[in-house]
Amino acid sequence: MALMATERPPIATALPEQRQSQDDDGTKQEFSRGAVMGWSASGLLVVFAAWTLATTLGLVPPEFLPTPLQVVQTLIAEFTTEKASGALLQVHAWASLQKFALSYLLAVVLGVSLGLAMGRYTAVDWIISPIFDAIRFIPPIAWVPLSILWFGAGLLAPTMIVFVAAFAPCVINANRGVRLINPVLIEATRTMGAGPLISLWHVLLPGALPQIIAGMRIGAGLGWQSLVGAELIVGNTGLGYAMTQSVQNLDTPTLVACMLAIGVTGTLIDYALAFVERHSRRKRGMA
C-alpha cells in the first residue's frame, strides 16, 4: 500500500485579492477594484512628487539622484539609441528575461513534481526533507562563486542562481497543497483502482493548484531579484550588468532607469501569475 502523508491542519494564507479592511468595531469592508487602483495611484503620485521636489529644489545633488524627467528621457534614449559604451537597454532586458525564463520554468517543473511527491508519500518526505531544509536556507546569491566555478562567466552561471531561488518555494507550496487536500478524496481514488497518474491528474494537481501558483509567484519574485544580483557579479549581458556599467561611467540617470526597468518587469511577471492565480481560484469557486 502506498504511504500517504498524514493530514496537517490548514495554513491560513493572505492573498492580495482577499484582503479586507476592518473598522474599529471589527466590521469588515470590501473595496472595489477601482478604489484600490485609485489609492495605489495616489501613493505613486506622492512618491514621484516628493522625488521631483527633492531634486528640483536641490535637496539631493543631481549626481546622486536625477530628476524624474531626466530618468524618463534616459529611458527613451536607452530604448532607441545604441551607445558606444554598451547595448540598448531593451537588449539587456531581453537577455535577463531569457535567463529568467529558462531556469524559472525548469525550477517550476522539478520543484512542483518533487513537492507533490513529498506531500503524497511520507517516505519521500522523510528522505528529502533533511537535505532540502539544509540547502534551502543558503541564500541564492551565496551560490554565485560555485556557479562561476562550475559554469564560468557565461549564461549558465546566473541561470543557476534563478533556479536555486525559485526551486524552494515551488517545492514547499506544492507539498503544502497536497497536504491540504481532503484525504477522503485521495483514498477514494485509490479504492476505485485509479493509478498514480490518474490520481495525480484528477486529484492532486487540481486540489493543490492554488498553493502551487502561489509558490510560483513567490519563486518568480525571488528568482528575478536573484538574477539581477547575480548579473551584478557575473556575466556581460542583462539589466544587472547594465547597472554595473552605469556605475563605472558615473551615469546616474541610466542607473536609475535600469532600476525602474527591473522593477516594472518584475511587477509585470507577478501580475501575470496573479491573473493565473485568480482565474484558478475563480474556476474552483474560491474567489
32 versus 100: which is more confidently predicted? 100
Task: State what percent of residues in the chain have pLDDT above 90.
Answer: 37
190 versus 229: which is more confidently predicted? 229
Is the pLDDT assigned to residue 3 strictly greater than 90? no
Instruction: Tell me the pLDDT band of 68, cut-offs 50, 70 and 90.
Output: confident
Lowest mean pLDDT: which of 140-144, 181-185, 272-276?
Answer: 181-185
Kindly list the domain boundaries of the chain, sorted by start residue: 68-74+91-283
Is the pLDDT assigned to residue 54 strictly greater than 50? yes
Q: 88-102: per-residue pLDDT in tens?
A: 788 889 999 999 999
Instruction: Tell me the pLDDT band of 285, cut-offs 50, 70 and 90.
Output: low
Is the pLDDT assigned to residue 266 strictly greater than 50? yes
Q: What does the pLDDT read at residue 31?
A: 64
Q: What does the pLDDT read at residue 30?
A: 58
Between the ranges 9-13, 35-39, 233-237, 276-280, where is the mean pLDDT highest? 233-237
Whole-number Å distance between alpha carbons of 168 and 136: 6
Lowest mean pLDDT: which of 44-53, 72-81, 101-110, 151-160?
Answer: 72-81
Can you tell me the mean pLDDT for 148-156?
86
The number of CA neighbours under 13 Å toward the Cβ of 247 is 8
Whole-number Å distance between alpha carbons of 111 and 223: 13
Q: What does the pLDDT read at residue 217?
A: 94
11 versus 153: which is more confidently predicted? 153
Q: What does the pLDDT read at residue 212?
A: 92
Whether the CB-CB separation of 252 and 189 falls below 8 Å is answered with: no
Burial track 252-282 (b if 16+ CB lie within 10 A, e otherwise): bbbbbbbeebbeebbeebbeebbeebbebbe
Q: What does the pLDDT read at residue 284?
A: 64
Pairing of strands 21-22, 28-29: antiparallel
Is the pLDDT assigned to residue 19 strictly greater than 90? no
Pick one of 1.10.10.10, 3.40.920.10, 1.10.3720.10, 3.40.50.1370 as the CATH number of 68-74+91-283: 1.10.3720.10
Give residue for cell 516594472.
264
**CA torsion, ordered 234, 229, 116, 15, to nearest 10 deg:** -160
CA distances from 101 to 5, 90, 98, 240 (A): 32, 16, 5, 16
Q: 164-204: per-residue pLDDT in tens?
A: 999 999 999 999 988 888 777 766 777 776 666 767 667 77
Q: What is the mean pLDDT of the chain?
A: 81
Provide the H-helix boundaries in the chain.
Answer: 33-56, 68-80, 89-120, 122-136, 144-151, 156-179, 183-191, 196-199, 205-231, 239-248, 252-283
Whole-number Å distance between alpha carbons of 99 and 159: 5
Is the pLDDT assigned to residue 59 strictly greater than 60? yes
